[in-house]
Structure formats: structure tokens, C-alpha cells
Amino acid sequence: MVSIAADALSVSLGGARVLDGVSVALDDGALIGIVGPNGAGKSTLARTLLGLLAPDAGRVTIDGDDVATLPSATVARRVAYLPQAHAVHWPLSVERLVGLGRLPHLGPFSRITPADQAAIDAAMHDTGTSHLADRTATELSGGERARVMLARALATGAPALIADEPLTSLDPGHQLEIMALLQARARSGALVVVVLHDLGIAARFCDRLLLIDRGRLKADGPPRTVLTDAALAETYAITAWRGEVHGEPLLVPLDRIA
């Protein structure tokens, strides 16, 4: 359905190298997590894959097309994006805010069609936000706003999604609910890429992890081969406990290594 590839990608921000020679191919049908310590370059990688940041070197392609040559609306129809910040600045109703996800499909002065409305309704249903439809978006709690912004991204109906820290402000129940939703979308054939800080969540839900540290791709593969004791010690300076419940892997950070 969609594929994204980065070839020898390097990016500098404020004169500092943030990504350094990252190459990766992302294909549909998998929930792919991007993990790494603070400042590792995770969000920069996500934004560069979308063409929101121009690399110093290397290139990004979406379905073989150089993202730098694609109109922004074309990129948005192929890859939906949930940014890290969930700020809402306009007193729109939640339903209208979610409806903004349909903009890449609309021409100037176009009206919402029944197909657009169906996509909006489905996105709100899937994120558990239908009951908020008439609420003013600026009055939502942080957790409500996080789910509404995810609904806006899902309403786009793109075959791929890049979500940057979608679990911020969510309670544990909603974190599990949202990760199960993203996992189900990936296993139905979508490409879903999610930036995560919670290694336990990443180990449990993701099919594949990209471990970024100091701008470099240190490991790429299934969680069990990426989040090794050695990798956790070197990248995060932590130890961890591992286990399994009902066939689900568990990983709990334990101690900081001095």
C-alpha cells in the first residue's frame, strides 16, 4: 500500500548534527516503533520522513517518489501525521477539528461529503472520542486532546501514519487502548510508525523497533533483538527486568547505571 525509505539521511538543526547517515526502509503491515533517549533524533527522523525538514544529505522516498518533489497535499494523502505537540489554538468543536484531517482531499471551497463524514465518524469511534463531538476543543483535558488529535490524523484515511509520542497525557488504560488500535491498523495492512519513550509498551506492541542514539541508527529489528541488556546499558544506561504474561513480553526498567 505504501513504503517509505531513507537513504544515508543526515540532518542538522541550529548548526548541530541531529541525524547522521540513517538508512531505513519502512513497509506496510507492521507497527514500527522509533525509540531512543532524549535528544537522540527520533522526532527529527519522523519529520524528515514526511518532508517537513530538508536533509543536509541523503533523500527520502515515498513509494519511490522523492518526498522533496511531492506537493504537501500528496504527501498528506499518503502519510498522515500526528505531531508531538497537541496544542489547539482555535475554539472549534471537536468534530470540526477532526474534520480538518480531510483537508488533503478537499479542493478550494469544497464541502464535506458523505464519504468525508464517514471517515470523521470512524476516526472518532476508533479513538473513543465520539461523545466529545460537540465539545469545544480548547476546553478538553490533555488526554482528551491527545485522542482527538489522533482522530484527526486517522480521519485523513492515509495508508500510512507517523505518530510522534501519541501516548503523551494518556492514562494507562487509554495508552493500552491506543496502542492496540495502532497495532490493529498495522496488521490490517497499514504502515504505522510511532515514536515512543515507554520501552515496555514498545516491547509489547511493536513488530519492529528502530533504536536511535546520538543521531545514528544503532539497531533495527524485532524488540527482543533491539532491546538487549547490552543495548539498554549502552544507550540508556539502565538495567531492566524481563518476563512474559499470557504470551506477551514484558520489559520494566529497573536501575540507572552509574
145 HSE (CA, 13 A, CB side)? 19
pLDDT for 125 beyond 80: yes
pLDDT for 133 beyond 80: yes
Q: Based on the structure, what is the number of domains in the chain? A: 1
pTM: 0.93
Q: For residue range 213-247, what is the model confidence (pLDDT) as tens digits?
A: 999 999 999 999 999 999 999 999 999 999 988 88
CATH number of the domain residue 19 falls in: 3.40.50.300
Give the mean model confidence (pLDDT) for residues 121-138. Answer: 95
The residues, any chain, with a CB within 8 Å of residue 173's CB and separated by 6 or more, are none
Cα separation, 140 vs 159, whole angstroms: 28
**Full residue range of the structural domain in which residue 120 is found:** 3-256
The residues, any chain, with a CB within 8 Å of residue 82's CB and separated by 6 or more, are 149, 150, 152, 153, 161, 162, 163, 164, 166
pLDDT for 109 beyond 80: no
Give the mean model confidence (pLDDT) for residues 115-143. Answer: 94
Q: For residue range 33-52, what is the model confidence (pLDDT) as tens digits?
A: 999 999 999 999 999 999 99
Amino acid letter for position 187 = R
Cα separation, 168 vs 146, whole angstroms: 7
Stretch among 129-133, 165-169, 227-231 having the lowest mean pLDDT: 165-169
